[in-house]
């Protein structure tokens, strides 16, 4: 049997990883400034993380959500404290798309409405509702396209109000910082007005923090830079450092009804052991502040150049927009300088390093970039 061929692959086979470094099957070492697409938060194979999962699997690896699982309660407690949302509740699932799916469903249950407003250049995942609110016609099948979704431009508050004021919009969904769309940061004034408008018309505000959350931008969630509190916050990626896990934080205004949400694997013992150890390591190693400091260093050190248009982002969620296609430079960074980076569109290099990236490791990237440009 062959694999269903949907991924474009680099010719690299990682077999080992530690911290911000990865080794391939030929023993070549790479610096990881991409974290497997923003997933590696506390660093590859952190010893505390490895120990937590190993010990857990030797005790119990799985049972269903029909029995008590104190690890879920421990995660909820720790997450409430770490994120500044102790009064919200937690629903656990398995991925970013599933988190958005659950958030949209909950908003629709709560309001009794079926329309959603999303933004141009958004990415929210590939499952039914999540892909319908994603601004990329290439990945929306006719089956997905029947959802009732309107797209507005980021920062265009008038067009959002026009949509929402009709009174039939269940939710507005927006990324804390747009990731796949090119590291686009919404204006603070726009986010404050968006919060007010949603409240005024009884529309739920969903913040997709799957990529921008969990400390990546130097605050626990990117929306905390704007000083707003959404109705639902969605999470994935860094939450368990690579063990599949997702979740949503739900404001106290929502009432849980038995059976309204559910999943087989969500909140399983291994994901919980992984997610709890991630929060412990983040706290012990002060990784949210490290992301901010190293990100600030990178922003200031990336060289000015005729071919670089702009460096955007916050903390370790950075986009370097070039005036030309970035494919070649990304490929040379990988094959000549042995540095993993990501991309948005055709001209933005995207950096999503593990939150433990050191200044010395960031310097290695800056030097490599200088040599290449
Ligand atoms: N939301 C955002 C902002 C993302 O960047 C992604 C993935 O890149 C998702 C949702 C989907 O997450 P997953 O691939 O875990 O389903």
Strand partners, 298: none
Cα 372 to ligand 1 centre (Å): 30
Q: What is the mean pLDDT of residues 208-213?
A: 98
Rounded CA-CA distance 111/92 in Å is 22
Could you tell me the two tokens for 314?
A: 């916050």
Mean pLDDT of 171-195: 98
35 touches ligand 1 (CB under 6 Å): no
Nearest protein Cα to ligand 1, atom 7: 125
Determine the longest span between alpha carbons in the chain, in angstroms.
Answer: 60
Which atom belonging to ligand 1 lies closest to the Cα atom of 180? 5
The answer, yes or no, to whether any atom of ligand 1 lies below 6 A from the CB of 175, is: yes
What percentage of the chain carries pLDDT values higher than 90?
99
Q: What is the pLDDT of residue 293?
A: 98
Residue nearest to atom 10 of ligand 1 (CA): 124
Q: Is the CB of 219 under 6 A from ligand 1?
A: no
Q: How confident is the model at residue 330 (pLDDT cuts 50, 70, 90)?
A: very high
**What is the rounded average pLDDT of the residues 263-268?**
98
Cα(172)–Cα(340) distance, rounded to whole angstroms?
34
Residue 96 beta carbon below 6 angstroms from any ligand 1 atom: yes
**Which residue's CA is the nearest one to ligand 1's atom 12?**
96
- Mutation pick for ligand 1 pocket among 35, 38, 96 (CB with most ligand atoms within 8 Å): 96
pLDDT at position 8 is 94
Confidence of residue 88 (pLDDT cuts 50, 70, 90): very high
At residue 319, the pLDDT reads 98
Q: pLDDT band at 149, cuts 50/70/90?
A: very high
Q: Is 105 exposed, middle or buried (0-12, 13-18, 19+ CB in 10 A)?
A: middle
Q: Tokens 């010395």, residue? A: 360
Mean pLDDT of 309-316: 97
The residues, any chain, with a CB within 8 Å of residue 219's CB and separated by 6 or more, are 225, 288, 315
Q: What is the pLDDT of residue 72?
A: 98
The predicted pLDDT at position 28 comes to 98
CA of 129 to the centre of ligand 1 (A): 13
For residue 231 and ligand 1, the question of a CB distance below 6 A is answered with no
**% residues pLDDT > 70 (the chain):** 100
pLDDT at 191: 98
**Mean pLDDT of the 223-252 span:** 98
Give the pLDDT band of residue 244 (cuts 50, 70, 90).
Answer: very high
Report pLDDT for 3: 98
pLDDT value of position 361: 98
Please tell me the distance from the alpha carbon of residue 217 to that of residue 204, in angstroms, as a whole number: 24
Would you say the CB of residue 236 lies under 6 angstroms from ligand 1? yes
CA 20 from chain centre, in angstroms, equals 18
Q: Give residue 370's pLDDT band: very low, low, confident or very high (50, 70, 90).
A: very high
Task: Identify the band that residue 177 occupies on the pLDDT scale cut at 50, 70 and 90.
Answer: very high
């Amino acid at each position: 049997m062959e694999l269903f061929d949907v991924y474009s692959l680099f010719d690299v086979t990682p077999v080992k990883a530690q911290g911000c470094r990865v080794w391939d099957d030929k023993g070549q070492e790479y610096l990881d400034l991409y974290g497997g697409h923003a997933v590696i938060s506390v660093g590859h194979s952190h010893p505390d993380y490895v120990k937590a999962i190993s010990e857990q699997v030797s005790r119990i690896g799985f049972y269903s959500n029909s029995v008590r699982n104190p690890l879920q309660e421990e995660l909820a407690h720790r997450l409430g404290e770490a994120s500044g949302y102790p009064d919200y509740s937690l629903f656990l699932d398995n991925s970013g798309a599933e988190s958005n799916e659950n958030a949209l469903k909950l908003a629709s249950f709560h309001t009794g409405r079926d329309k959603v407003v999303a933004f141009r250049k958004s990415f929210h995942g590939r499952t039914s509702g999540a892909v319908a609110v994603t601004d990329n016609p290439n990945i929306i099948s006719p089956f997905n396209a029947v959802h009732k979704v309107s797209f507005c431009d980021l920062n265009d508050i008038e067009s959002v109000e026009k949509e929402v004021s009709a009174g039939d919009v269940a939710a507005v969904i927006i990324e804390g910082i747009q990731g796949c769309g090119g590291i686009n940061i919404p204006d603070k004034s726009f986010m404050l007005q968006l919060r007010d408008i949603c409240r005024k018309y009884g529309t739920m505000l969903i913040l997709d923090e799957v990529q921008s959350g969990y400390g990546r931008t130097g605050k626990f969630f990117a929306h905390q830079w704007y000083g707003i509190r959404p109705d639902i916050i969605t999470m994935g990626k860094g939450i368990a450092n690579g063990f599949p896990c997702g979740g949503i934080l739900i404001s106290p205004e929502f009432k849980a009804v038995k059976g309204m949400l559910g999943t087989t694997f969500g909140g399983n013992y291994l994901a919980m052991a992984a997610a709890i150890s991630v929060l412990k390591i983040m706290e012990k190693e002060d990784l949210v502040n490290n992301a901010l400091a190293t990100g600030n260093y990178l922003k200031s050190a990336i060289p000015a150049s005729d071919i670089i248009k702009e460096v955007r982002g916050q903390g370790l969620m950075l986009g370097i927009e070039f005036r030309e296609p970035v494919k070649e430079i990304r490929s040379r960074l990988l094959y000549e300088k042995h540095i993993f980076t990501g991309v948005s569109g055709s001209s933005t290099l995207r950096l999503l390093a593990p939150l433990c990236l050191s200044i010395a490791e960031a310097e290695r990237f800056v030097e490599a970039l200088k040599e290449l440009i």
